[in-house]
Structure 1
Amino acid sequence: MIDVVIAGGGYVGLSLAVSVKKAAPHLAVTLIDGAPEHAWKKDERASAIIAAAAQMLDVLGIWSEIEPEAEPIKRMVITDSKTADPVRPVFLTFEEGGVDGRPFAHMVPNVALVGALRKAAAALGVDIRASAVAKDFKSGDHSVAVTLASGDVIEARLLVACDGVRSKLRDAAGIKTVDFDYGQSGIVTTVEHERPHDGTAEEHFLPAGPFATLPLKNNRSSLVWTELTRDAERLIASDDLVFEEELERRFGHKLGALKVVGARQAFPLGLTLARDFIAPRFALAGDAAHGIHPISGQGLNLGFKDVAALAETIVDADRLGLDIGWLAVLERYQSWRRFDTFRMGVTTDVLNRLFSNDATPIRALRDFGLGLVDRMPSLKAFFIRQASGLGGQGEPKLLGGQPI
C-alpha cells in the first residue's frame, strides 16, 4: 500500500512530495501528474517566491539550483492613477533592504522551479506517473482507493488533492466552496526593455485593476495585467501592434523601448475558498483549497505554506506511530491553514474592490492611506515582514528554514 498519493504535478504537489520524502524516506509517495511528460517545459511564466518560501526550498536542497535563475525584488513602487494620466504619483515605496538585509521576494521562472522540484523528487524516489488523472476516490477505515481515468486503482493511507482551483477531487469529496467571479482576467506575458529595472517591481493601480511589472533576468520583466474580461479577450486576440501600443500606455517609457518576448495568456480571476481543507483520508492543498486575486502576489506562496504545514503534520504523525490519514491527525493541518487562507482571501478581495475603482472619493481615501503608510517606517517594516512570510508565530518549520 502507498502511504501518500498526491494528485497534481505542479509546484504544490511536487514540493509536498519532496518535503515528505526528504523528512521520512521510508514513506512511499506517488505523484499523479495529469500533464504529459514534458509539458512543464513549455511554461513561459514566472512566479514571485517570498523569502519564507525560499528558505523552505533551501531546506529541501533545491534553492541553490534555482537561485542563479532568480531575480531578487529589491524595491517595490506603488502608484495610483488613470491610464491616460501623464504623471503617475508614487504613493508608497518599499526600499532596498528587504527583511534583515535579504530581498523579501525573488522572481523565478516556472520552468526552473518545477524542473528543480522534479529532479529532487526523482532523486528521493518519488513515483511520478505522467499523463495519469485521479478521477475519483473512496475512503475506508484504513485506506483510500484512488481510481485513475485508466481504470487502475491505487490503495493509499492518504490522498492529497493539488489538482487546481477547479478540483474534481474536491467535488468528489463533497467539499463546498465560497466562490466569486470578479469579471476580470489577468493577462500574463514577458517583455524585454532597453534599460535595466534594477530589481524594481511596480504595481500601478488603474481603474480596470492592478498592472504589475516584476523584474526578471536580462532586462526583462514579467507582467500581470488585470483588465475586465471582455477587454482582456480583445487584447489577447489583437495584433502585435495594438497589443504593444496598449501595453506602452500602461508600462510607460521609463525603461526605453519595449518588446513582447513571451506568449500572451489570459486567466479569469475570481475568489474560491474551500469551506473545509480535509475529509477522511483526504486533504486539499494549493489552488484546490484556495484561489485568490493576484493583487498581493501571494497565490503561489499560500500553496507553499500549505505544503510546509501538511508535510509537518504527516511526518510528525508518522514519527508518533499515528495513522497519517486519520481525520484527527489532519485536523492539525486544517487548523493551521484555514484561518490564514480565509484572511488572505478576504484581504485580496477588499484590496481588489478598493483599487479596481475609479470613484473620486474612494481614490482620495486609498491614496491618503498609502501615503500615510509611506510615512511610517515601523508600519512599512511590518507589512514587508508579512509579505515576506518571515517572523510569524507558530509557522511550520520549513518556512522558518528548519528541517522537519
Structure 2
Amino acid sequence: MSVERPRIVIAGGGLAGLSLALALKRALTDGLDVIMADPALKRDPHGDLRAYAIAAAARRMLETLKVWDQVADKAQPILDMVITDSRLNDPVRPTFLTFEGEVAEGEAFAHMVTAGDLTAALIEACKDSGVILRAEGVTGFAAQSARIDVTFSNGESVPAALLVAADGARSRLREQAGIGWISWPYHQSGIVATIAHERDHEGRAVEHFLPSGPFAILPLKSETLPDGTVKHRSSIVWSEKTANVPALLESDPEDRLVELERRFGLQLGRISFETRPQAFPLSFGVARSFVAERIALLGDAAHVIHPIAGQGLNLGLHDAAALAETIADALRLGMDPGGADVLEGYERARRADITAMGVMTDGLNRLFSNDLLPVRLIRDLGLGLVDRMPGLKRFFIREAAGLTERDAPRLLKGEAL
C-alpha cells in the first residue's frame, strides 16, 4: 500500500458506523487510523429522542467497548413481552403468546435506550480512543489497486485502505460504487413517538398485531421529576397503511389521541403524546453485494427490514462487529484490510444472517398484516402452540437476543478483539 499507515474512512456517523470506528481503535490503537465523516457530527446528539431495543448480544458488544456503562442508568430492560392478535374494534384482545425477558440470570434479552444518549456516549468514546471525527460528508472516491482516494465535501482527498459506506438506506456511495439494490415497499409507514402514561409499565413490551400492521409498545426508563413525581413513558412503533397516515398526523390533537387510545389501550391509565409523532415509509431492501473494490457497506446502506421484530439496528451493530473482527484479524496477519479476499470474508459472514432475518420479518409482516379469517385462525393456533412449548419459547427469545449464532463475532459474545 502507498498509505504510510493503514487508514479506514467511515462515511456516516450513525450508531453502526460509530460502533465500528470505536471497535477498530479499541482493538488496534496506534496500528490504524480511523476517520469518521458525517455532517451530523456538528449537531447535539441528545436531540435525537428515537428509542431502540438493544438486544443482549449488542449490549455485550457495547459493554466490551466500555460504552454501556455510560447509558446503563438510562436504559430500560424489557422484562417480559406479550403478543396479541385482534381487530381494532374488538372489545377484548386475547393474549396468544408471552415471553419472559431474561436470557440468563439477571440478563434481559433487550434494553430500550434513546438514540441520542447512545450516540453521545459513542462519540465521546471515539474521541477518547483517537478516532478522527470530521463534521463533513464524503462526496466521492476513486478506487485503485493499492488504495482508495476518498474526497470530502471541502474538496480534500485522502488515501485509505478501505472506505466504509454507512450513509443510510439511500446510500449515495453505494450507488456510486455501482452496487445494485433489491427492494419493495410495504405500503405501510411506521409512526414513532414517545407516550407518557399514568401507570408503571413494569418493563413489559406489548405487540398488538392489527390488520393494518403491528403496533408495538416498548417500555422506557421512568423519570423522577424535581417535585418527586414519577413520569412513566413508553415508545410506540405504530405500523399503519401509508394511505391513512396523512390524515392521522394532520388531525386534531384530540382526535389523534383517540386513535392512539384505540390501539394503545387503557391498561396503563391516561396517556398522552410526549413527542410529536413522526412517520417513516417502510420497505424491504438489500444490496446485491455488501462489498466492492475497497468499499464495504454497513447498516442500512446494506439492508433495510421491517421493524416488526425490532432488529434493524441490531443487524447494523452485528455488521460493525463482523467487519471490525475481519479488519483486525487481517491486519494482525499482515494482510491488506481493503483487499478483495478480506472483504469477501465480511460478505460471507453477513449474507446468510441478513437474508434469514429479511425473509423472517417480511414473512411475519405479510402473515399478520391481514384480516383473512382462515389466516387469522392458523396464525393464532400457531401462537398458542408456541406459548405451550417452553423450549421453543426459550429458543425464540435467544434468537431475538442475538445469542443463537454459532460463529457470531467475538464482540457479540462479550470478547475483546
In the TM superposition, what is the alpha-carbon distance from 1:36 to its structure 2 partner? 5.2
Are 2:326 and 1:322 equivalent residues in the alignment?
no
Contact 1:99 1:388 (8 Å CA) reproduced? no
CA contact (8 A) 2:41 2:134 kept: no
Q: How far apart, CA to CA, are the structure 2 residues paired with 1:128 and 1:229?
A: 38
The TM-score with structure 2 as length reference comes to 0.95
Q: Which of 395, 403, 408 is the matching residue for 1:382?
A: 395
What do the CA deviations read for 1:347-391 (whole angstroms, capped 9, x no partner)?
A: 110110000011111111110111110000000001111110114
SS in 2 for 1:24: helix
AA of the residue aligned to 1:162: A
Query: Secondary structure of the equivalent of 2:158?
Result: strand
Report how far residue 97 of structure 1 moved. Answer: 3.3
Structure 1: how far apart are the matches of 2:214 and 2:355?
21
1:200-247 alpha-carbon deviations (Å, 9 max, x no partner): 000000010000000001110000000011212221222211111100
**8 Å contact from structure 2 (residues 309, 361) kept in 1:** yes
Matches of 1:36 and 1:321, distance apart in 2: 33
Q: Is the 8 A contact 1:236 1:264 kept in 2?
A: yes
Q: Is the 8 A contact 2:186 2:282 kept in 1?
A: yes
Counterpart in 2 of 1:302?
Answer: 315
- Paired position in structure 1 for 2:62: 57
- For structure 1, the 5+ residue unaligned runs are none
Counterpart pick for 1:32 among 31, 34, 37 = 37
Q: Give 1:30 shift.
A: 0.3
1:138 Cα deviation after fit: 1.4
What's 1:9 paired with? 13
Q: C-alpha separation between the residues in 2 aligned to 1:363 and 1:247? A: 23
Contact 1:74/1:98 (8 A) holds in 2: no
Q: Is the 8 A contact 1:99 1:385 kept in 2?
A: no
The whole-number CA distance in structure 1 between the counterparts of 2:339 and 2:99 is 44
CA contact (8 A) 2:13 2:41 kept: no
SS at match of 2:216: strand
For residue 254 of structure 2, what is the aligned residue in structure 1?
A: 241
In structure 2, the residue matched to 1:168 is 172
The one-letter code sitting in structure 2 at the alignment partner of 1:288 is A
The equivalent residue for 2:161 is 157
CA deviations on 1:130-152 (whole Å, 9 max, x unpaired) are 1x111221110111011223322
Contact 2:45 2:117 in 1 (8 A): no
1:402 aligns with 2:415: yes
1:147 aligns with 2:160: no
Supply the distance in 2 between the matched residues of 1:69 and 1:343 (Cα, whole angstroms). 32
Matches within 5 A, 1:2-401: 3-26=7-30, 27-35=32-40, 37-130=42-135, 132-218=136-222, 219-401=232-414
Secondary structure of 1:25 counterpart: helix
Amino acid at match of 1:361: P
Q: Give 2:52's aligned amino acid.
A: S
Structure 1: which amino acid aligns with 2:331?
D
Cα deviation 1:134-173 (Å, max 9, x = unaligned): 1221110111011223322121110000000110101111
For these two proteins, the number of residue pairs brought into alignment is: 403
**Equivalent-residue separation in structure 2 for 1:325 and 1:228 (angstroms):** 43
Structure 2 unaligned residues grouped into runs of 5+:
223-231
2: CA distance between counterparts of 1:53 and 1:310? 14
Structure 1 segments, 4+ long, off by >6 Å, are none
Contact 2:101 2:110 in 1 (8 A): no
Counterpart AA for 2:43: H
1:36, 1:95 → 2: CA distance? 38
Q: How far apart in 2 are the matches of 1:233 and 1:259?
A: 20
Question: What percent identity do the matched residue pairs reach?
Answer: 53
TM-score (norm 1): 0.98
Q: Which amino acid aligns with 2:275?
A: G
Q: 1:109, 1:303 → 2: CA distance? A: 16
The CA distance in 2 between the partners of 1:96 and 1:351, in whole Å, is 21
Q: Which amino acid aligns with 1:318?
A: L
The amino acid that maps onto 1:331 is E
Letter in 2 for 1:395: A
Superimposed CA distance per residue, residues 95-116 of structure 1 (whole angstroms, 9 cap, x where no aligned partner): 2434444110000011110011
Distance, in Å, in 2 between the alignment partners of 1:99 and 1:51 is 10
Distance 1:389 1:52 in 2: 5
Query: What is the SS of the residue equivalent to 1:389?
Result: coil
* Structure 2 CA distance for aligned equivalents of residues 40 and 209 of structure 1: 30
Matched residue SS, 1:371: helix
Which SS does the other structure have where 1:205 is aligned? strand
For residues 96 and 182 of structure 1, the distance between their equivalents in structure 2, rounded to whole angstroms, comes to 29
Distance (whole Å) between structure 1 residues aligned to residue 105 and residue 221 of structure 2: 23
